[in-house]
Structure 1
Amino acid sequence: MNKLILIDGNSVAYRAFFALPLLSNSSGLHTNAVFGFTTMLLKLIEEEKPTHFLVAFDAGKVTFRHKGYEDYKGGRQKTPPELSEQFPLVKELLRSFGINQYEIEGYEADDIIGTMTRLADERQFPVVVVTGDKDMLQLSSEYVTVALTRKGVSEVERFTPGHIHETYGLKPYQIIDLKGLMGDASDNIPGIPGVGEKTALKLLHEYGSVERVLEHVDTLAGKLQERVRDNADSARMSKELATIYREVPLELGLDELGWSGYEGGKLAAMFRKLEFKSLLDKLDLPVSAGSDEPQEELRVEVLEAAALESFAARLAAGETRSLHIEAIGDNPHHANVVGLSFRSADGCLYLPFELLLSDAGRPIREWLSDPEAKKNVYDMHRTEVALSWSGIDLKGVAFDVLLAAYLLDPTESNHTLNALAARFGLPAIQADEDVYGKGAKFRLPELPVLSEHLCRKASVLERLVPVLRAELEKGEMHVLYYELEKPLAAVLAGMEKTGIVVDGDGLLKLGAELGSAIEKLVSGIYAQSGVEFNINSTKQLGDVLFEKLGLPVVKKTKTGYSTDAEVLERLAPYSGIVDNILNYRQLAKLQSTYVEGLLKEIRPETGKVHTYYQQTIAATGRLSSQFPNLQNIPIRLEEGRKIRKVFVPSEPGWYMLAADYSQIELRVLAHISKDAKLIEAFQNNMDIHTKTAMDVFGVSESAVDSNMRRQAKAVNFGIVYGISDYGLSQNLSITRKDAAQFIEQYFAIFQGVRHYMDDIVKQARTNGYVTTLLQRRRYLNDINASNFNLRSFAERTAMNTPIQGTAADIIKLAMVQLSKRMQTEGVKSRMLLQVHDELVFEVPKSELELMKKLVPDVMENALPLDVPLKVDVNYGLNWYEAK
């Protein structure tokens, strides 16, 4: 059976944006609206099984309605840039789904959908219209169901003519009369002032239409008669504005909207770009791309025990050898190393991992651990960690293909060998999923298939080395690669192999304390509500808060009352129970995510957790921690900070020492922008947020209160991240107008910052990229785009990348320099963690005074700037005490 889905693209994207928190991928591109739109599409496809599809968009700000009423939609606030930049992504997403999209100058999406539903009605063609706009209810008919979005866009309420009558007591065509009387603030349709929905419905139930109400104005009582008589023209115009035009000259018909499903490969490529890994997994889409290039002829030899000694001699005689080490699994500390492949002059050799671990494999293991035996590999950091758990050292890496590929294009999310083969026109490699399977279907293939797959990887790896090496030289990133990123990979592997001790008993004790605190909160909540209920149940909690306790309803969903964090925070002033519920949720998350989660991550044989730092993910150059994520332990709550107490030294009598850069990004901004006021503040060791508040508000230091400093701090850090008036208004809970004025005041005072922002965008337009102080490069393909939204995002990225990227480079540089300095000094102290701008060490008591001086000395002088870098150092018996 045929079914057409018509989606109001602007409306759904807008609702998705405001329903979800601001999300972004590793390139800094905001994706929350796209993610919400995508989940809505997938749900519609699953539930409706459409045969035809169209998403309609508004073509511009001016429509035929503006000719009769210039203020149409005039009250709407400017679309936040964080949403505007996502519309091109939504449209690209639709292309990847194979879904038709349409817009036409002078008309709105409503009019396109209205015309399509008219055509569908004429052919008795079933339609579902998806929108957040109640105006669309006028289109409901025997064949047209209007699905109004609820709860963001995750739920919809379906309106048939019968449901419209049950809800409003009206027929679908009377919705325009309803709008004519009550108006619509979102579209700046005036209606009759003082007439709300309740009054408008009462009038329509009695008279049926705007025109009939006006005819019977003399029968109305008191003020209502006066309002209707004085605003008769407004009511007629409002009804006309609310009427969807259903005669748009479309260039496509129903038959051209056929849709037979999405193509997995195209959709997977889009999800990879957006970094929607959860959706890749949910739909079982391939996580890596293949190449259309034919596979090369390759002679594969499987090494046997008897041949290993002579092969080791051949390795020792070579200058540099390209090899691939296959370690399967997301977490390198638990990866399954299955084999090694070596590219030779006349083919490729495969070495099973179990043979490498045998007595016969000893000479190969010695070659792998020889720092003088040079090797080209893929992902030296991950490989070194994976091999270490089998007692094998990897030394002497000459070139790391993954690290080079990442530096050359940090915004690309897929740097697998088969993706790189496709990118550089090399022979194709079969996708890992096609060789091993995914999830429950995963298995190691037979030896001939496995050995050939790994040999093809080694072959492509060898051919990539000279290409990538030349590209690094061309991009002037060879120094960054050889002197920072490659040495850092070894430093990170060393830190991860060392690990950090977690006091399991202390963690259990903390868990018990949290459990007691949670129980106390639960008892208090029950006492305050007078009933026991499931606090985790949205429905039961809603019933207690809004029906039993009578708190004001903030937001409702299709399934009942909303009790999300935003709603509870708005309700907090009305009742103490709300604060208890918020605290309960926070403590319950700490208990499950961090107490129970960390217990699972303690490795039994070491008593430590061994995190893994991803070096090739973030476009800014920052590291990210996984398995477990130790960069994300919450420290705003005291209970969250207490989790750091369980991280302790691995030796008795040792200390934990933490060294933290103070406001490093703002100091980098001062250096790069050469802003005299910022430089002066840092050189005089002033509190930069107080200084900003003094200058922006025009007050003395003593007159700066905590709220002024808080606002100044939000602006200071917001400037670094290219914040908009919308973003700042959300952070400070102020109007967008006030936020815009605040930003303007900032730029009027810190003119060096404004000149930097202007100049860096011009530079980006000329070069197509921006760089950090250490020449880390980020390409901005959309910096000269004709599309305003794409260009705006690229401009903001141009402004903040040199700042964020340089800050990331500085702490990385400090880590490399500290590793060398600690080796030179011969200390026993160990570097354990990097948490954003902080480094954590374990230090014997005898070295404490030395490390308290050595660490800040290296960190503060890692890269000379026009302003001093400042490092705060603290120590204690655990990580908590070291802060």
Structure 2
Amino acid sequence: MAEMKNVSNGFDVRGRALQDGELAAWLAEHSLGNRFGLTVAGTGLGYGARAVVLAIVAADGDGRYIDAAALTPDDEAALASWLADPGPPKAVHDAKPATHALAGCGWTLRGVTSDTALAAYLLRPEHRSLALNDLLIHHMRCALPTEAAALQQLSSPNPEAAPALILRACAVLDLADVLDEELARIDSSSLLGRLELPAQRALVDMETAGIAVDRTVLTRIRDVVDEDTVGGLLSSIASDGRIHATFHQTSGRLSSSDPHLHDITNHPRAGRQIREALVAGEGYAELMTAHYRRIEPRVLAHLCGNAGLIEASSEDHAESKLSIVDDARRLGYASTLLGRRRYLPDLDSSDPQVREAAERAALAMSVEGSAADIVKVAMAGINQAIKDAGLKSRMVLQVDDELLFEVAHGERDTLAALTSEHMTDAYPLDVPLEVSVGYGANWGAAASAGTA
């Protein structure tokens, strides 16, 4: 096994704490098209987080440690402008929490060309851990010192942590370069910039928006449905009367936690009642739901080149699924329609149980994974289209193949049109994608209208 080095001994990194008034000139000096490494430490990881300190490292290894609360007006203006500028490329590890933390200071983050957690996920979705240190060990045979590896949560500035934070930003920058090369080797470079990063932006906006809750309805049904589920929802209501769940995009299909909103659909009776407690917030006319009709059978039909599979028998489905698994065995990996791969060496295992598990994983990657990618493409497109159109309506929730929106007064038709367009055009399947749309005062009513 190759010797593992400490990152501080293997990387050209230098830097110091920011001096008053120098940030604009320092950024201009290093903004020559080369990527920066950025790391943020603060309180919280999702909605409501706030940056306490951050470090920026330029491509030449020179870095600056920045106390968010001690900036001069000129430095704060320079930092806010640089963060919001999509021009200077930036590498961040796990950019979604960083985006929330910076937003807590009133700053917008744009120009992220590499999120090393997402890039590593695209390379190896089976990674057990996407923690920065684990990725450095796996991809670069080096590790951060303990004080740098642990720097993500920080309640107050600590000038003594400046070298460690700068080192962490440098490690992110170098790891991004390595992961870029690895993605290029498997023809997956475009997936990061065209799929995962735009989807991440949509998830940030959804987490920030949250979804309004009728506390009275939840309290009333707590004794007749799953008490733990309803109790978890009640305890998750923020001071603005909304639930701001955390969404995860490195788990195959999108998922959520704090609370686990995706679990609602797994309980038919309780789920219907809980949906009635999720409502349009103050200032909005109604909720709109848009969901794909039978997206997975359409994906399967496309993969097999047989439009008739939409209405085919289970035997025909089984034969078609077998051909997908055979292709994965021949290639050594299964892939989604957009090219996201999962390598499955166990497809050739001599152990029947191990081999069958790999076959199920290959099928899930090809069909369910493609459906998940299509949903991400649609979400990213809709999120940007809403902004481009200057709408006040917003996407507030995604569960499986369904998207939920708060509709501003007078925007129903415009929102429905752009949503349907981006959902049906997300991927050109041989059996075209179809979308159902419904409206209501709460999620339950909107979903019922959409399936009527």
Matches within 5 A, 1:26-41: none
By how many angstroms is 1:494 displaced? 1.7
**CA offsets, 1:799-842, max 9 Å, x none?**
22100111101111111222333344443321111111100011
Question: Within 1, Cα distance between the matches of 2:68 and 2:141?
Answer: 27
1:308 is aligned, of 9, 12, 23, to 23
Contact 1:299 1:348 in 2 (8 A): yes
In structure 1, what is the equivalent of residue 221 of structure 2? 514
- Against the structure 1 CA distance between its residues 764 and 343, is the aligned structure 2 distance closer, same or farther, given a 3 Å change threshold? same
Question: Within 1, Cα distance between the matches of 2:441 and 2:242?
Answer: 16
AA aligned to 1:292 is M
Question: Within 2, Cα distance between the matches of 1:426 and 1:338?
Answer: 30
Question: Within 2, Cα distance between the matches of 1:655 and 1:444?
Answer: 42
**CA offsets, 1:243-276, max 9 Å, x none?**
xxxxxxxxxxxxxxxxxxxxxxxxxxxxxxxxxx
Residue 243 (structure 2) pairs with residue 609 (structure 1) = yes
Residue 159 (structure 2) pairs with residue 447 (structure 1) = yes
By how many angstroms is 1:775 displaced? 0.4
Residue 97 (structure 2) pairs with residue 382 (structure 1) = yes
Contact 2:262 2:400 in 1 (8 A): yes
- Bigger Rg over Cα: 1
Matches within 5 A, 1:481-500: 481-500=192-211
Residue 123 (structure 2) pairs with residue 408 (structure 1) = yes
By how many angstroms is 1:789 displaced? 2.6
Contact 2:378 2:422 in 1 (8 A): yes
By how many angstroms is 1:368 displaced? 0.9
In structure 2, runs of 5+ residues without a counterpart are 448-452
Residue 229 (structure 2) pairs with residue 593 (structure 1) = yes
Contact 1:293 1:425 in 2 (8 A): no
Question: Within 1, Cα distance between the matches of 2:152 and 2:392?
Answer: 45
Question: Within 2, Cα distance between the matches of 1:660 and 1:384?
Answer: 28
Contact 2:41 2:152 in 1 (8 A): no
2:365 is aligned, of 797, 801, 811, to 801
Question: Within 1, Cα distance between the matches of 2:155 and 2:405?
Answer: 40
**CA offsets, 1:833-882, max 9 Å, x none?**
11111000111342223333432233123212122322221101122211
Question: Bigger relative contact order, structure 1 or 2, given CA contacts below 8 A and separation 6+?
Answer: 2
By how many angstroms is 1:656 displaced? 0.3
AA aligned to 1:470 is E
Contact 2:148 2:167 in 1 (8 A): no
Q: How large is the RMSD of aligned CA atoms in angstroms?
A: 2.9
2:323 is aligned, of 759, 777, 790, to 759
AA aligned to 1:643 is I
- Against the structure 1 CA distance between its residues 613 and 824, is the aligned structure 2 distance closer, same or farther, given a 3 Å change threshold? same
- Against the structure 1 CA distance between its residues 615 and 464, is the aligned structure 2 distance closer, same or farther, given a 3 Å change threshold? same
In structure 1, what is the equivalent of residue 394 of structure 2? 830
Question: Within 2, Cα distance between the matches of 1:311 and 1:813?
Answer: 37
Question: Within 2, Cα distance between the matches of 1:329 and 1:824?
Answer: 32
By how many angstroms is 1:356 displaced? 4.6
- Against the structure 1 CA distance between its residues 597 and 301, is the aligned structure 2 distance closer, same or farther, given a 3 Å change threshold? same
By how many angstroms is 1:593 displaced? 2.8
Identity of aligned residues (%): 34
AA aligned to 2:189 is H
- Against the structure 1 CA distance between its residues 880 and 433, is the aligned structure 2 distance closer, same or farther, given a 3 Å change threshold? farther
1:624 is aligned, of 255, 258, 264, to 255
Question: Within 1, Cα distance between the matches of 2:142 and 2:63?
Answer: 15
Matches within 5 A, 1:175-190: none
By how many angstroms is 1:497 displaced? 1.6
In structure 2, what is the equivalent of residue 352 of structure 1? 67
Residue 359 (structure 2) pairs with residue 647 (structure 1) = no
Question: Within 1, Cα distance between the matches of 2:362 and 2:217?
Answer: 48
Question: Within 2, Cα distance between the matches of 1:386 and 1:308?
Answer: 20
Q: Helix, strand or coil for the counterpart of 2:140?
A: coil
AA aligned to 1:411 is E
Residue 332 (structure 2) pairs with residue 332 (structure 1) = no
In structure 2, what is the equivalent of residue 878 of structure 1? 442
AA aligned to 2:70 is L
In structure 2, what is the equivalent of residue 391 of structure 1? 106
By how many angstroms is 1:381 displaced? 2.3
Contact 1:403 1:485 in 2 (8 A): yes
AA aligned to 2:334 is V
In structure 1, runs of 5+ residues without a counterpart are 1-290, 519-583, 682-690, 693-745
Matches within 5 A, 1:32-111: none
- Against the structure 1 CA distance between its residues 336 and 453, is the aligned structure 2 distance closer, same or farther, given a 3 Å change threshold? farther
By how many angstroms is 1:326 displaced? 2.8
In structure 1, what is the equivalent of residue 170 of structure 2? 459
**CA offsets, 1:226-249, max 9 Å, x none?**
xxxxxxxxxxxxxxxxxxxxxxxx
Contact 2:148 2:165 in 1 (8 A): no
AA aligned to 1:624 is S
In structure 1, what is the equivalent of residue 379 of structure 2? 815
Contact 2:210 2:245 in 1 (8 A): yes
By how many angstroms is 1:393 displaced? 0.8
Contact 2:21 2:72 in 1 (8 A): no
Question: Within 2, Cα distance between the matches of 1:435 and 1:388?
Answer: 22
- Against the structure 1 CA distance between its residues 330 and 825, is the aligned structure 2 distance closer, same or farther, given a 3 Å change threshold? closer
By how many angstroms is 1:778 displaced? 0.6
- Against the structure 1 CA distance between its residues 770 and 635, is the aligned structure 2 distance closer, same or farther, given a 3 Å change threshold? closer
In structure 2, what is the equivalent of residue 292 of structure 1? 4
AA aligned to 2:286 is Y
- Against the structure 1 CA distance between its residues 358 and 602, is the aligned structure 2 distance closer, same or farther, given a 3 Å change threshold? farther
Question: Within 1, Cα distance between the matches of 2:369 and 2:217?
Answer: 40
More helix by share: 1
Question: Within 1, Cα distance between the matches of 2:293 and 2:52?
Answer: 45
Contact 1:673 1:755 in 2 (8 A): no
Question: Within 2, Cα distance between the matches of 1:662 and 1:432?
Answer: 50
**CA offsets, 1:167-204, max 9 Å, x none?**
xxxxxxxxxxxxxxxxxxxxxxxxxxxxxxxxxxxxxx
Question: Within 1, Cα distance between the matches of 2:238 and 2:174?
Answer: 38
Q: Helix, strand or coil for the counterpart of 1:798?
A: helix
Contact 1:648 1:879 in 2 (8 A): yes
Matches within 5 A, 1:571-590: 587=225, 589-590=226-227
Contact 1:356 1:364 in 2 (8 A): no
Larger deviation, residues 662-671 vs 318-327: 318-327
- Against the structure 1 CA distance between its residues 770 and 381, is the aligned structure 2 distance closer, same or farther, given a 3 Å change threshold? same
Question: Within 1, Cα distance between the matches of 2:176 and 2:213?
Answer: 40
Question: Within 2, Cα distance between the matches of 1:378 and 1:650?
Answer: 33
- Against the structure 1 CA distance between its residues 846 and 489, is the aligned structure 2 distance closer, same or farther, given a 3 Å change threshold? same
Matches within 5 A, 1:839-854: 839-854=403-418
Question: Within 1, Cα distance between the matches of 2:378 and 2:424?
Answer: 8
Q: Helix, strand or coil for the counterpart of 1:497?
A: helix
Larger deviation, residues 606-615 vs 388-397: 606-615
AA aligned to 1:645 is E
AA aligned to 2:197 is K
- Against the structure 1 CA distance between its residues 400 and 642, is the aligned structure 2 distance closer, same or farther, given a 3 Å change threshold? same
In structure 2, what is the equivalent of residue 319 of structure 1? 33
By how many angstroms is 1:444 displaced? 7.4
Contact 2:44 2:50 in 1 (8 A): no
- Against the structure 1 CA distance between its residues 356 and 772, is the aligned structure 2 distance closer, same or farther, given a 3 Å change threshold? farther
Question: Within 1, Cα distance between the matches of 2:352 and 2:78?
Answer: 61
Contact 1:320 1:376 in 2 (8 A): no
Matches within 5 A, 1:705-716: none
Contact 1:293 1:422 in 2 (8 A): no
AA aligned to 1:322 is F
Aligned length: 441
